[in-house]
Amino acid sequence: MKVYITRNIPEAGLKLLKDAGLDIAVWTENYHQPEEELIKVLQQYDAVLVSGPVKVDRHFLESCRHLKIVSLMSVGYDNVDTEAARALGIAVGNTPGVLSGATADAAFLLMLAASRKAFHMHKEIIRGNWNFWDPTANLGLELGGRTLGIVGLGKIGFEMAKRCVGAYDMKVIYHNRGKNEEAEKAFGAVRVSFDELLEQSDVVSVHTALTPETKGLFNKNAFSKMKPSSIFINTARGGVHNEADLIAALESGTIWGAGLDVTNPEPMAADNPLLNMPNVAVLPHIGSATVDTRNAMAVIAAKNVILALGKRPLEHAVVENIHLA
């Protein structure tokens, strides 16, 4: 059986695949393989491990209907047409849980960096602008006892709440599809409407999946309901906020600052105005990028491939394997 990997993955995952006797090939070029070329290559493979931003749409899936599994090395699956995969009998796996702590760390880092203008200060030193200690310059915001509003309180949102409560005793409110009893018990988190969350939060941190309902959720209307002293954090997907509206909200002082690990498009252009705003911190989608987490993600993604090819249920399924033994 042959497995194609769309971008090199940690050795722990490769080893599992090799030890299972699978024949593997990895795309190692310094650019993403063009979609049509990838589809052509995949005609020779039984499974694909998607370890990069590949658009697994209906055209892709119909062109690769022989695949037993699309194994994502990510928890997010907004790049996959899951309805088409289900209809075509192609299993889809993902890697939830193991990346929650690392991604919440990135959200926490962005919150602190934006609140103290840290990335901007770093650039100012490089520019030679560290002149003197000024009692009225470079002032940031403190987080102690403030209100954290989490939109999408699932696994990563929970870890973010844990950090903010532990470090700053922040009050947690949340907006979610369902009640999160564990968070209510652990942090006294209170479920509120989306508008209440916007109006009451000092920090709004987004942790939902990108879906038709959450696409562009943070637009001019949403930002207008936030406090002028508030900070917007997005480590979910860039499509959840409208970038032009975010820039306008920051420029007009409608909100105070922002921290982004995800943008739309990715990569962000080097001349994007957000990169020159003092109260904004941007990272290049590195939420899950720690050695331990990427190893763990690679292992799950590899296991899902092995399970699908062995006609067994996946460890983590977005679309379950219908070809069970």
Ligand X SMILES: O=C(O)C(=O)CO
Residues that are catalytic: 237, 266, 285
With respect to ligand NAI, which residue has the nearer C-beta, 176 or 304? Answer: 176
With respect to ligand X, which residue has the nearer C-beta, 238 or 257? Answer: 238
With respect to ligand X, which residue has the nearer C-beta, 248 or 317? Answer: 317
Segment lying near ligand NAI (by CB under 6 A), choices 40-48, 117-125, 176-184, 223-231: 176-184
Give yes or no for residue 285 binding ligand NAI (CB under 6 A).
yes
* Ranges within 244-263 binding ligand NAI (CB under 6 A): 261-262
CA distance 242 to 239: 7
Give yes or no for residue 288 binding ligand X (CB under 6 A).
yes
Contact by Cβ (8 Å): 16, 302: yes
Instruction: Work out which of 99, 110, 255, 258 binds ligand X, going by CB under 6 A.
Output: 99
User: Residue 44's binding partner, choosing from ligand NAI, ligand X, none, with beta-carbon cut-off 5 to 8 A by kind?
Assistant: none
**Half-sphere exposure at residue 142, Cβ-oriented, CA atoms within 13 angstroms:** 4
Sheet containing 280-282, strands listed edge to edge, beginning at the edge strand earlier in sequence = 190-191, 171-175, 147-151, 203-206, 231-234, 257-260, 280-282
Take residue 1 and report the two structure tokens written for it: 């059986």
Give yes or no for residue 96 binding ligand NAI (CB under 6 A).
yes
How near is the Cβ of 9 to ligand X at its closest, in Å?
Answer: 12
CA distance 18 to 21: 5
User: Residue 153's binding partner, choosing from ligand X, ligand NAI, none, with beta-carbon cut-off 5 to 8 A by kind?
Assistant: ligand NAI
Report in angstroms the alpha-carbon separations of 31 from 27, 53, 69, 324. 9, 11, 24, 36
* Ranges within 55-74 binding ligand X (CB under 6 A): 74
Residues 6 or more apart whose CB falls under 8 angstroms from that of 179 comprise 191
Parallel, antiparallel, or unpaired for β 91-93 and 69-72?
parallel
Interface ranges with ligand NAI (CB under 6 A): 75-76, 96, 99-100, 103, 151-157, 175-178, 207-211, 213-214, 235-237, 261-262, 285, 287-288
